Amino acid sequence: MADTSRAAATESASTGDAPNDGPSAGTQPVVAALLLNYHGAEMTLQCVKDLLQVADVPLSIVVLDNHSGDDEVAQLQRGVADLPHGQHEVHVLPLEQNLGFAGGMNRGLEFAARQQVPYALVLNNDMRLPSDFVLPLLDVLRNDPAVGAVGPTVVHPDGTVWAEGGEVGFLPNGLRLIRHGQQPSDVTAGPEEVGFLTGACMMMRTETASEIGGFHRDYFMYWEDVEISNKLRRRGLRIVWLPWVRVEHLGGQSSGGGRSPLRKFFMACNAVRYLKAHGSVATWAGWLLFDVLLWPLTLATGPAAAWAKMRGTLAGLFGHTADANDVERFLSR
């Protein structure tokens, strides 16, 4: 988990003022729903609204602002205070610097552990969530101690699949999101085992997350979900996908979308980092073919994105740790 020697984030718990607006007396949150905000307050607040509609599981909704600035934090706090909380708690935690997805989520996991909330739900802030999606995921973890993490089917707004879990192997970029761009599977049973879960929506036990050190902070953003899935599997735990639970992902709102130079750089840099640590012959061979020898084909996505991918690959090979400075460099162009 994040280095506890760093200064702790300023923590601001925002609750409504109406007499029945906060959690009922004696209601202990069962799941900490962790949302990372970076210059996306309106979208984050919409996700909070969705979570507040969950009726069957008391939540601690934790909004972690990744150093967006005082004005944005104030907007989040005002927006949260105006919402009816019901049985749920809502907290806004401003972070003292941009820690990326990995470092920011680690702060959320630490907060959940201090609150003694037994389960943690990791979410992107650009999710649209049905009111009944939490309990089925929770039941998988409650009923099967061999499961380390569980996630739903994640779909695009048009109903096609964004991910039914993922796998690492002899593939372009070293990984693939299962059934990406296709119609959802007609599987109604489950859960089904997968190689990794996307950090857009995954649930795990808070204690287990603490024991394995949370997300590897050096990944900053992208591949951190693959890496934590790998750590859980190395402990003998299964990573599973629950086919019939669906959530909607708008996709890439903070990093500019799938073809943005920022995303290409971080994906390429962290792919090399992951391969150095965990790569097999098959994954290295796939990387050499698809990401090096066939790199010129990526020019079709646009020269800026293609060159960003090449720079990310070289940065990874030379041991660069991509961080907030790289984000600022791309966003300032």
Give domain status of residue 4, yes or no. no
Together in a domain, 231 and 324: no
C-beta neighbour count of 221 within 10 angstroms = 30
Q: Compute the distance between CA of residue 275 and CA of residue 270 in angstroms, rounded to an integer.
A: 8
Strand spans (E) along 199-271: 201-205, 238-249
- Distance between CA atoms of residues 266 and 134, nearest Å: 30
Q: Identify the domain containing residue 98 by its residue range.
A: 12-249
Both 285 and 220 in a single domain?
Answer: no
Cβ-based neighbour number of residue 331 at 10 Å = 12
d(CA 231, CA 1): 12
Asked if residue 293 and residue 226 are part of one domain, the reply reads no
Number of domains observed in the structure of the chain: 2
**At residue 191, what are phi and psi to the nearest 5 degrees?**
-75, 160
What angle do the packed helices 70-81 and 41-52 form, to 10 degrees? 20
Cross-strand bridge partners of residue 168: 175
Q: Looking at 249, 272, 289, which one is the last position of a domain? A: 249
Tokens 């992902």 sit at which residue?
Answer: 249
Whether residue 24 sits in one domain with residue 131: yes
CA-nearest of 111, 115, 117, 88 to 10 is 111
- pTM for the complete prediction? 0.89
Do residues 23 and 162 share a domain? yes
pLDDT of residue 258: 60
Which residues of the chain are under the pLDDT cut of 70? 1-26, 252-258
pLDDT value of position 259? 75
What distance lies between CA 168 and its chain's CA centroid? 17
Answer yes or no: do 176 and 269 share one domain.
no
Q: What is the pLDDT of residue 257?
A: 55
Q: Looking at residue 5, what is its pLDDT? A: 29
CA distances from 118 to 31, 205, 207, 308 (A): 6, 6, 7, 40
CA distance 288 to 316: 14
Residue 292 shares a structural domain with residue 220 = no
Q: Is residue 7 part of a domain?
A: no
- The DSSP code for 304 is H
Handedness of CA 239, 243, 247, 250 (dihedral sign): positive
List, for residues 293-307, the tens digit of each pLDDT value.
888 888 888 899 999
* CA–CA distance, 33 with 29 (Å, rounded to integer): 10
Nearest to 165 by CA among 156, 182, 152: 152
Q: With CA atoms as reference, report the closest residue to 246 among 120, 138, 132.
A: 132
Report pLDDT for 173.
78
Whether residue 254 is contained in a domain is answered as no
Any idea which residue has 């890496």 for tokens? 227
